[in-house]
Amino acid sequence: MWQRSNTARVHDASGEAVIVCNPSDGGTIQGYLFKRSRKKNKTWKRCWFSTENNQLIYLKSHKEQPVVLFDDLRLCAVKSLDVIDRRFCFELLSVQKCCVLQADSEELKSAWMNAVQGCIDMAYRDQVTDQNTQVKVSSAPVSIPDPPSHPPALGVALSGRGNQHCCDCGEAEPRWASVNLGITMCIECSGIHRSLGVHLSKVRSLTLDSWEPEQLKLLCVLGNEVINGIYEREAADVLQKPSAGSPRQDKEQWIRSKYVEKRFVARHPDGPDADALKLRARQRLYSASVSGDLVAMAEALAEGAEINWNNNEQEGRTALIGSAIGGSLLACEFLLQNGANVNHRDQRGQGALHAAATYGHTGQVCLLLKRGANQYAADEKGNDPLSIAIETAHADIVTLLRMARMNEEMRDSEGFFGSVGDDETFQDIFRDFSNMASHDPEKLTRRPFIRSSEEEQQDEEEKN
């Protein structure tokens, strides 16, 4: 039975308890907050919240069982929401979802944010903070742990090789990253990267933006050390690399030379064999995508391989289709982040989603659906990915595709203004598959799909 603590209560004007803190329990906090619905109507409901056991839990009403809103605070970050039509709001973010909450006052908002951040810090670092901050709420002092110094996404990103310093100028503790290049950078270099355009560098904040598991893994598997080994291989003979204190124009010249002109990438002299070298880079990108070799893929792109090149020796397949055949989730994500066409189809009319369904790669199916793959596309035999999954007996993929189709049909039935992903049941199932694909792929072992007698009878009737 879920019990409320009686340790430090604060009451509102009506005498109702709005916050309960337990300083002796690592800053555990309980109390009332308004929660904004994730559905289209965006209604607000007052619920009783609690942080306990590394989770954020709430009660919709006293007659119902508690609901786990965030089941692992290590994957969360908290930020204030000032640009909103309500006061005293803050947002709790994870790589899977976000939730907007409203406190009754600015003091309570600060208390909640500090308390939740304190819980995140302890869970992420697996230790209790030694120093406490006194936050005064109404007339009662509440002891709240210090907020964490590193949000979860930042902590994961900085664990990659060379990621503790800006990839381009070496400034310590970068707070920004390029998701398609797989590098971290300081705020000044991030502004220069943004000016290059998203086709070259997709910049995101490691402290404010939400990150999906496969995107963070790219930063760890690639990272500054690997990418600099590719893009700065011959830099010493061409241009001096700027430092953290260098003028902005020097940094801009360096970054444009490095990523736009690719002046420092190891190249062979242009000549009669130039076309052959380009073809070799394209073929290398395809073979590396099948094998899931991210470093070789990054090298091939730096050497000029086109992301959507059709490999005629492989029935017109692109590197993305090759990665779906090979089964590397990170290879798929890397190609998609670098502009791969998710709906390109080969000479047999099959795309990456068909390939992932054929070979039973549940993680790739989940990722491709998230990135907009057309689940209704039929190949030259008239088979769409769902029919292929049924034929090849991949139960998890059948479940995913059927849920995706049901969600899309529900979206269409809501009219012109319906939006993809409104059905929360579908989103919950989708997140489960996505998380398993990223963190526990061994759980997605092939399970046979058994057709019911009713389904077989229905198919016979349709044929007749």
17-22 vs 55-59, strand pairing mode: unpaired
Q: Does residue 58 sit in helix, strand or coil?
A: strand
Position 404 scores a pLDDT of 82
**Number of neighbouring beta carbons within 10 Å of residue 197:** 10
Domains 8-145 and 274-463 share a fold: no
**Contact in structure between 100 and 91 (CB atoms under 8 Å):** yes
Q: For residue range 113-161, what is the model confidence (pLDDT) as tens digits?
A: 888 887 776 664 543 333 333 333 433 444 434 433 445 788 888 988 9
Residue 22 pLDDT: 57
Whole-number Å distance between alpha carbons of 258 and 235: 8
Q: Which of 112, 93, 7 is nearest to 49 (CA)?
A: 112
The pLDDT, as a whole number, for residue 420 is 42
Decide the pairing of beta strands 176-178 and 140-145: unpaired
What CATH class does 152-260 carry?
A: mainly alpha
Q: Break the chain into its structural domains and give their ranges.
A: 8-145, 152-260, 274-463
CA distance linking residue 127 with residue 98, whole number of Å: 25
* Cβ atoms 370, 434 nearer than 8 A: yes
The predicted structure's pLDDT at residue 96: 60
| CB within 8 Å of 385: residues ≥ 6 apart | 353, 354, 356, 357, 365, 375, 377, 397, 401
CA angle 361, 366, 370 (to 5 degrees): 145
CATH topology of domain 8-145: PH-domain like (2.30.29)
pLDDT lower than 70: segments of the chain: 1-27, 40, 74-75, 94-96, 121-151, 267-272, 410-464
Q: What pLDDT does 243 receive?
A: 93
Q: Which two tokens mark 286?
A: 């395809």
- The CATH number that domain 274-463 falls under is 1.25.40.20
Q: The whole model's pTM is what?
A: 0.62
> Which residues lie across from 11 on neighbouring strands?
17
Q: What is residue 101's predicted lDDT score, i.e. its pLDDT?
A: 92
What's the pLDDT at 210? 85
